Amino acid sequence: MSVRVLSRLFRRRFLEELEAAHHAGQLQFFGEYAHLSDASAFAKWLAPMRCCEWVVYAKRPFAGPQAVLAYLSRYTHRVAIANSRLVSMDERGVTFRWKDYRDKGGTRHKTMTLEPEEFMRRFLLHVLPGGFHRIRHYGLIANNARKENLARARELLHVVPAAVADTNSADESVEPVRATFVCAHCGAPMIIVQTFVRGQSIRAPPHVQGAP
């Protein structure tokens, strides 16, 4: 089906269902939109929606579960911009490569230079606020009852869980725990003094014993 035909069909069906919901009293309006509770006022407000073009995005269906996982992983397991896209950083600002999907005739791969403050502002737009998770599990692997659900699912499927290897066995060599941050000059592990979150003010330097 053509995207233009689909957009107009979707517009008609959406507005018809919206009108039906209004006539059935399923819509509520408050504040400055309280007057839309009246049928004539709502019809007058809805009339311009029938004249403008609606944008409908159509895409071929995924080719199986593997394609779905490959598509989602590009968004859930990557940073805002890869190091390979960074070109330079000088007195003019930060230069990086980007892809212009609207450019149909020329090359889509272009470069852009932004001031450091603007570059950091755009980068931090991709940082989740505190308390939010990029990936949240649901269903059988939801965090609140994951262990019980998986055990019940294995029981119904008659699946025996794999034996857990004994990590305390003397026959196995225990690898030392590597430090997360290591000094680039001496190689010693670095100690985290403080972790900053968005909107938090910087505290005074930590007091070192014996320092004035």
Report the candidate in 112, 118, 86, 121 with the shortest Cα–Cα distance to residue 198.
121
pLDDT at residue 198, as a whole number? 65
139 in the same domain as 110: no
Extract the residue ranges of the chain whose pLDDT is less than 50: 165-168, 170, 208, 211-212
Full DSSP string of 170-189: TTSPPPPPPPSSB-TTT-PB
Find residue 151's DSSP bridge partners.
none
d(CA 43, CA 20): 12
Domain boundary among 124, 144, 175: 124
Determine, yes or no, domain membership for 119.
yes
Which domain range does residue 83 map to?
A: 65-124
79 in the same domain as 29: no
pLDDT at residue 200, as a whole number? 56
* pLDDT digits 0-9 by tens, 19-37: 999 999 998 898 888 999 9
pLDDT at residue 2, as a whole number? 73
Number of domains in the chain: 3
116 in the same domain as 70: yes
pTM of the model: 0.39
* pLDDT digits 0-9 by tens, 7-18: 888 899 999 999
pLDDT at residue 175, as a whole number? 62
**Other C-beta atoms lying within 10 Å of the C-beta of residue 42:** 19
Show the tokens assigned to 171: 């026959």
Residue 96 CB burial class (10 angstroms; 0-12, 13-18, ≥19): buried
Determine, yes or no, domain membership for 178.
no
pLDDT at residue 77, as a whole number? 74
Determine, yes or no, domain membership for 9.
yes
Phi and psi of 50, rounded to 5°? -80, -15
